[in-house]
Structure 1
């Protein structure tokens, strides 16, 4: 293959692309998580159980999100990634606004499935674009900065959703957060330049890999197997605990919807954003000479978050409760950027969107799909004996899964160096994952 000409890109434009894609990701999570802050109002209005809420906020969304994500990622590896992101934003934003018109549980469930289908086209192509704008030594921080969109979205979703819900009702909240996405979709389409695949790595033009080739490559990597499971277990605790935090604060600490919105926007939004960027920053710094730090950082932070979550569940002082949830969220968010970065480091540029989709398939199916559903089912099962306190114990049980996630990250780190020569296609000029 001949060397391709590089598209000249200024640092300022790279930052613009990263910031815009991060805002798109924030919008993704505003539209995804707005239901969480509204769920108590919806539960009362539609007479739902915790199991139905868990299905609505988790599994029903996740199963379509991860399933549709695979073919869209294949499309992103062979097509124009910018256009895919723009189309995805328009679809999920429209379906979010449509959620405000639903009249029963079945209609709302279908609308949320539509949001999941749209959001499946967001992250894999965005990950691939960012990895073609930022070289390997900056990629962990860039992808972590992008991943802060998760918590920026949660911050805005909780803050705006809590206020609009209290003042105008839950239906209006869906309209307020959904409709602006159409304008953002146009901004992506007409201001982001599609980068050449592999340009940030100084590689020759890469032919897109097939789904079978990408799957076979990742399956050979025992480190990927373990850190993808670890990421799924971490997300299991994050989504399981996070999606029921509003209900927990309302039921166990008598918060109003507005108090929940303000408190969780600061705790989850700011704490999660700091943790997400901190994880990438530490991984890039410590991983300069040994890439296993990308996984060790994740293991350490996951383990630290477990006791903090347990204290938050059982403390009586609300200041202690909120402080412990802040730091457990911070530590629990550190894994995301390093995990994506190490995935992209193990595969060729032509596999990156699909590799992200497969990673997110596991992460979201285990985490988003099963986490909230598990909490809801356990809460309903404990309700006959514990009453309104059943949710407290369901959240505490879920938080303990972080120990298992930490173990899986540690096992993965032990296998990373052996796998670094297996994943990429043979290229003499590709950077090694081995320590210097």
Structure 2
């Protein structure tokens, strides 16, 4: 880790900052993933179709989450990254609690829009703060530790949400999770401060922080676009499976809500944590020798995951499916450390949150907005052919997105070395 001497005296220590950012990210994914495990009770209570659930999990969340991330990332670069994260945590947690009061499709749809508005200001400024605190050679590992919030938060949302819904009510699960996040927000701001840093100047002596300047820089970065659309393609399937797998386990494998929670939560914890940490270690190790490895490592992981996911999806046994899903679940998370680190290195320090927000705009609008809805709509269209197994075949067809992602990551490898920006 980084010595405290390397950070300005008024700043938080790197390890404390990273720990608090991880906690916030865990809440981010608890709030996001809880909808998936509660899909069955919500559909039964509110009489919603798979297509409507796909809209709730996808476009209702992703529309404002993706688009507002860009101006909020720019504001974070110009003002305070820690303040933007704090306010965002309070907003998305409050709207998560409101989901528990929904009486129909449109009321829960609007509450999910609110969750997306709040979460828009959480991730990109966090990436930038981590890049501020940790040096280049340790950045992929630090970003991987932060990214543990995805499997840890998803597993917590799945297990806790499923238990509360099965023993009490799905509405209480939203309220408990949302109010917990509201309480964490002031603690985060008290403990985490922004490191002070001098602005990077252009040749004319002016700060290079205009939004149009960042767009011009990224427009010429081929690696950025290959990485962004590669991540987006992988997220089409990744978010789609994360949202719909609990429903598949109940429909095609006959598991009840608590069994589904334990099955899926265990896969997320074991496979997800191993994949995130492994990706960060591989990224820093191989990337120190060849910058192209930041794209090649994820490409290899996606290609290896396809046949294993297919075998798990088509398995007739829940026990065999659990074993088959473990490895590809880990492979699906390997990209996070290498790719997120590479994006931080395609721009200078004072524009990282904005660049990250533009990356997330592409990744999330396509991945979350498209993937969850696509799998749900495809499942509905396959019902006349496959009946209760329509979701199984929807997932199987969607594995093509990992193959596309692998090809785009490979294309990013060569320009990465040329477009890499070393820390000043």
Q: CA deviation at 1:208?
A: 5.3
Partner of 2:88: 88
Question: How many residues in Structure 1 have an aligned counterpart in Structure 2?
Answer: 414
Residue correspondence of structure 1 range 92-103 to structure 2 within 5 A: 92-103=92-103
Partner of 2:46: 46
Partner of 1:169: 169
Residue correspondence of structure 1 range 344-363 to structure 2 within 5 A: 344-363=344-363
Q: Could you list the per-position Cα deviations for residues 345-391 of structure 1 after superposition, in whole angstroms to 9, with x for gaps in the alignment?
A: 11001110001101111110111110011101110111012111110
Q: Could you list the per-position Cα deviations for residues 296-323 of structure 1 after superposition, in whole angstroms to 9, with x for gaps in the alignment?
A: 1111111111011100111112222112
Partner of 1:388: 388
CA distance in 1, matches of 2:179, 2:299: 39
Partner of 1:217: 217
Q: Point out the more displaced range, 409-418 or 359-368.
A: 409-418
The 1:383–1:374 alpha-carbon spacing in structure 2 relative to 1, beyond 3 Å, is same
Q: Could you list the per-position Cα deviations for residues 106-144 of structure 1 after superposition, in whole angstroms to 9, with x for gaps in the alignment?
A: 000000000000000101111111111100011110011
SS at match of 1:180: helix
CA distance in 1, matches of 2:152, 2:210: 34
Contact conserved, 1:77 with 1:208, CA < 8 A, in 2?
Answer: no
Contact conserved, 1:153 with 1:269, CA < 8 A, in 2?
Answer: no
Q: CA deviation at 1:268?
A: 1.7
Contact conserved, 1:77 with 1:353, CA < 8 A, in 2?
Answer: yes
Q: Unpaired segments of 5 or more residues in structure 2?
A: 1-5, 200-204
Q: Unpaired segments of 5 or more residues in structure 1?
A: 200-204, 425-429
CA distance in 2, matches of 1:168, 1:13: 41
Partner of 2:8: 7
CA distance in 2, matches of 1:46, 1:121: 30
CA distance in 2, matches of 1:209, 1:271: 39
Contact conserved, 1:155 with 1:270, CA < 8 A, in 2?
Answer: no
Q: CA deviation at 1:97?
A: 0.5
Q: CA deviation at 1:408?
A: 0.6
CA distance in 1, matches of 2:423, 2:34: 41
CA distance in 1, matches of 2:361, 2:197: 23
SS at match of 2:250: helix
Contact conserved, 1:312 with 1:322, CA < 8 A, in 2?
Answer: yes
CA distance in 2, matches of 1:324, 1:184: 37
CA distance in 1, matches of 2:31, 2:148: 15
SS at match of 1:285: helix
Residue 142, structure 1, aligned to residue 142, structure 2: yes
Partner of 2:64: 64
The 1:206–1:155 alpha-carbon spacing in structure 2 relative to 1, beyond 3 Å, is farther
CA distance in 2, matches of 1:197, 1:317: 55
Q: CA deviation at 1:6?
A: 5.4
CA distance in 1, matches of 2:344, 2:87: 24
SS at match of 2:359: helix
Contact conserved, 1:92 with 1:117, CA < 8 A, in 2?
Answer: yes
Q: CA deviation at 1:8?
A: 3.8
Q: Could you list the per-position Cα deviations for residues 245-293 of structure 1 after superposition, in whole angstroms to 9, with x for gaps in the alignment?
A: 0100000011111111111111023311221121011110111121111
Partner of 1:308: 308
The 1:189–1:256 alpha-carbon spacing in structure 2 relative to 1, beyond 3 Å, is same
Contact conserved, 1:155 with 1:264, CA < 8 A, in 2?
Answer: yes
The 1:6–1:377 alpha-carbon spacing in structure 2 relative to 1, beyond 3 Å, is closer
Contact conserved, 2:10 with 2:195, CA < 8 A, in 1?
Answer: no
CA distance in 2, matches of 1:231, 1:9: 36
Residue correspondence of structure 1 range 222-233 to structure 2 within 5 A: 222-233=222-233
TM-score by length of 2: 0.94
TM-score by length of 1: 0.92
CA distance in 2, matches of 1:212, 1:312: 46
Partner of 1:418: 418
The 1:189–1:128 alpha-carbon spacing in structure 2 relative to 1, beyond 3 Å, is same
Contact conserved, 1:206 with 1:350, CA < 8 A, in 2?
Answer: no
CA distance in 1, matches of 2:345, 2:258: 43
CA distance in 1, matches of 2:274, 2:250: 26
The 1:275–1:6 alpha-carbon spacing in structure 2 relative to 1, beyond 3 Å, is closer
Q: CA deviation at 1:324?
A: 1.6
Partner of 2:202: none
Partner of 2:3: none
Residue 249, structure 1, aligned to residue 249, structure 2: yes
Contact conserved, 1:297 with 1:335, CA < 8 A, in 2?
Answer: yes
User: Considering only aligned residues, what root-mean-square deviation do their CA atoms show, in Å?
Assistant: 1.8
CA distance in 2, matches of 1:365, 1:278: 27
Partner of 2:33: 33
